[in-house]
């Protein structure tokens, strides 16, 4: 019974390994949509670009950090020793002042500075404590350490330059625009790198199809040679014709060897591009589109590109930033008027050093001894060349961006029109290549039948066969070229991700998604 169990377990184990082996040997196959998603998730160049995309808002986050709450703490100890003389009779020869503080502060987007602070000052002097050095009648002035505690709130505000955070909010908006510019640029790079990965896939397709074509050529050449040999036996062909086909066989075998080497090179590059296992085997099915988009329209596509292309969206944000820079430059020319105020309560005692805050008799929270402080500070730049330079540069930047927008408007329109024209042309080339390949195949089959019947010579068959091979290779190349142009058209108007239903917010690596 035990042996049967062991035997059953062994059979199950071997079956499992066999299934795994079959699964691992299963050819790698992707639809076009799956290929795009796979390139996004696995191509190392794309993954690096996606990581850069996660850093697009770094400067904005650093800037916003200044609006965070901060915890404050400070300790300052100062001790002094002096020689005994008449000057130090009343101050003492040894003094020590300890200052401790803790609190919180925050800068708000309105430019308002707020701070809550608790402080304690401990002062100790040996004045009148040494009876041998204290004049008669002054011994009662010697006291223990003096504790001064306080709790205060400080608020400050700029009322003219950077009034209520005006300049800071402009700067934050500028950094936000810059962050979006970088984000759009990186998304555009990701799209371009995805297309590059697909080109690697299609390049392998070209090389693989080339090998298959030469393989078929070899088979067809062998068939014709064998037929020629049979015809020679019947006296219908000469021996030198067999020699010709033997030479052609050798030539095709050399072409096959070269095609195998090129295919393996393209395969290794594709495996590296898609980050696959070295043992990956690719299926014969290739993700290629052969349909022309139905909604091709110059005006609609140009309008779409204006709304979605990274460079054109960036120019709008650059215009916004130029306007904000000019506003900040004008703001810098204003006087600076800052007001600040502090209000709180304090206590001072020698009897209860541990109850300076909570003591019912004169403690800080008793509110007996208020602390009030106010200040107004004003400064005005007089003939400040730095301010003038800032205004000049901001105005120049605004004009430069306007010129850049005019040029880019035409450039984007021309790019989209060119991509549509190239796409239509490559589609026409692909359709013609299909027709040409089909006609060449029919012609070759007809010539071959006639050759078998003795109505055509070997040279005609060879010419027809060469033509068919070239047309088959041209068809594969035309299909790949069409797909490359199709996806460059998507990139030109920044519609690649929308075309394949990919959420742009998901381009960030999962551990960096908000």
At residue 481, the pLDDT reads 92
Highest mean pLDDT, choosing among 27-41, 127-141, 270-284, 432-446: 432-446
Q: Rg of the chain over CA atoms, in angstroms?
A: 42
pLDDT at residue 360 tops 70:
no
* Verdict on whether the full-model pTM lies above 0.85: no
Q: Which residues contact 206 (CB under 8 A, 6 or more apart)?
A: 266, 476, 477, 480
Residue with tokens 């089959």: 445
Confidence class of residue 134 from pLDDT cuts 50, 70 and 90? low
- Quick: pLDDT tens for 2-20: 444 433 333 333 333 333 3
Q: What is the pLDDT of residues 383-408, one digit of tens each?
A: 788 888 988 999 999 999 999 999 99
Query: What is d(CA 52, CA 22) in angstroms, rounded to the nearest whole number?
Result: 39
Q: Please report which confidence band the pLDDT of residue 156 belongs to, taking 50, 70 and 90 as the band edges.
A: very high
Buried-exposed string 133-163: b where 16+ CB fall within 10 A, e elsewhere: ebeeeeeeeeeeeebbbbbbebebbbbebbb
Look at residue 49 in the predicted model and tell me its pLDDT.
87
User: By the 8 A CB rule, do 331 and 166 touch?
Assistant: yes
Flag whether pLDDT at 125 surpasses 90: no
Q: Left (φ > 0), alpha (ψ -120 to 50) or beta: where does 176 sit?
A: alpha
> Has residue 478 got a pLDDT over 80?
yes
Which pLDDT band, with edges at 50, 70 and 90, does 352 fall under?
A: low
Quickly state the pLDDT bin for 142 (edges 50, 70, 90): low
CA of residue 240 relative to chain centroid, distance? 66
Query: How far apart (Å, rounded) are the C-alpha atoms in residues 264 and 101?
Result: 72
Q: Where in the chain is the domain with CATH 1.20.1600.10?
A: 32-55+170-321+393-512
Distances (CA, A) of 387 to 121, 173, 395: 44, 21, 13
Q: What is the pLDDT of residue 14?
A: 33
- The answer to whether residues 198 and 458 touch, using CB atoms and an 8 Å cutoff, is no
Mean pLDDT of the chain: 83
Report whether pLDDT(263) > 90: no
Q: pLDDT tier at 343 (50, 70, 90 boundaries)?
A: very high
Q: What ranges make up the beta strands (E) of 299-335?
A: none
Cα separation of 486 and 293, whole Å? 9
β-strand 369-379 against 336-349: which pairing, if any?
antiparallel
CA distance 476 to 410: 35
pLDDT, position 281 = 81
pLDDT of residue 77: 93
How far apart CA 274 and CA 39 sit, in angstroms, is 6
Q: What is the mean pLDDT of residues 163-175?
A: 90
Q: Return the higher-pLDDT residue of 352 and 266.
A: 266
CB 79 within 8 A of CB 93: no
CATH (one of 1.10.10.10, 3.40.50.2000, 1.20.1600.10, 3.40.50.1100) for 32-55+170-321+393-512: 1.20.1600.10
| Burial of residue 426, with CB atoms counted within 10 A of its CB: 0-12 exposed, 13-18 middle, 19 or more buried | buried
CA pair distance 306, 326, nearest whole angstrom: 25
Structure tokens at 145: 């350490």
Section 337-353 average pLDDT:
85
Backbone phi, psi, residue 455, to 5°: -95, -15
């Amino acid at each position: 019974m035990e042996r049967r169990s062991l035997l059953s377990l062994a059979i199950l184990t071997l079956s499992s390994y066999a299934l795994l082996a079959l699964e691992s040997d299963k050819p790698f196959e992707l639809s076009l949509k799956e290929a795009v998603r796979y390139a996004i998730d696995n191509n190392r160049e794309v993954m690096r670009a996606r990581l850069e995309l996660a850093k697009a808002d770094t400067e904005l986050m650093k800037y916003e950090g200044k609006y965070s709450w901060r915890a404050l703490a400070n300790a300052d100890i100062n001790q002094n020793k002096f020689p005994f003389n008449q000057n130090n009779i009343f101050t003492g020869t040894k003094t020590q002042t300890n200052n401790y503080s803790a609190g919180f502060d925050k800068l708000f987007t309105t430019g308002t500075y707020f701070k809550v602070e608790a402080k304690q000052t401990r002062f100790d002097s040996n004045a009148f404590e040494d009876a041998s050095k204290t004049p008669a009648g002054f011994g009662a002035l010697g006291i223990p350490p003096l504790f001064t505690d306080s709790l205060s709130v400080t608020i400050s505000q700029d009322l003219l330059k950077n009034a209520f955070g005006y300049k800071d909010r402009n700067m934050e908006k500028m950094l936000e625009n810059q962050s979006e510019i970088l984000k759009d640029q990186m998304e555009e790079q990701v799209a371009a790198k995805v297309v590059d990965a697909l080109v690697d896939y299609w390049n392998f397709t070209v090389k693989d199809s080339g090998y298959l074509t030469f393989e078929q050529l070899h088979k067809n050449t062998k068939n014709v040679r064998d037929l020629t040999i049979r015809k020679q036996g019947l006296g219908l062909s000469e021996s030198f014709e067999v020699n010709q086909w033997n030479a052609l066989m050798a030539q095709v075998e050399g072409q096959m060897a070269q095609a195998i080497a090129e295919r393996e090179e393209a395969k290794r590059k594709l495996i590296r591009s898609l980050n696959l296992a070295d043992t990956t085997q690719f299926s014969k099915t290739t993700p290629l589109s052969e349909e022309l988009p139905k909604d091709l329209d110059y005006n609609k596509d140009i309008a779409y590109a204006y709304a979605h292309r990274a460079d054109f969206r960036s120019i709008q944000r650059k215009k916004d930033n130029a306007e904000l820079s000019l506003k900040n430059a004008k703001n810098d020319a204003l006087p600076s008027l800052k007001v600040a105020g502090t209000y709180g309560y304090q206590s001072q005692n020698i009897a209860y050093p541990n109850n300076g805050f909570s003591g019912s008799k004169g403690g800080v929270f008793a509110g007996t001894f208020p602390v009030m402080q106010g200040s107004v500070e004003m400064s005005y730049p007089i003939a400040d060349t730095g301010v003038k330079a800032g205004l000049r540069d901001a105005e120049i930047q605004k004009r430069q961006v306007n010129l850049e927008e005019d040029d880019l408007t035409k450039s984007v329109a021309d790019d989209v029109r060119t991509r549509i024209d190239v796409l239509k042309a490559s589609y026409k080339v692909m359709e013609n290549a299909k027709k040409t390949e089909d006609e060449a195949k029919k012609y070759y089959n007809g010539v071959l039948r006639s050759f078998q019947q003795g109505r055509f010579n070997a040279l005609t068959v060879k010419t027809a066969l060469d033509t068919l091979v070239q047309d088959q290779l041209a068809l594969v190349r035309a299909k790949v070229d069409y797909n490359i142009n199709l996806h460059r058209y998507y990139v030109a108007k920044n519609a690649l991700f929308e075309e394949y239903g990919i959420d742009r917010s998901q381009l960030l690596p999962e551990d960096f998604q908000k």
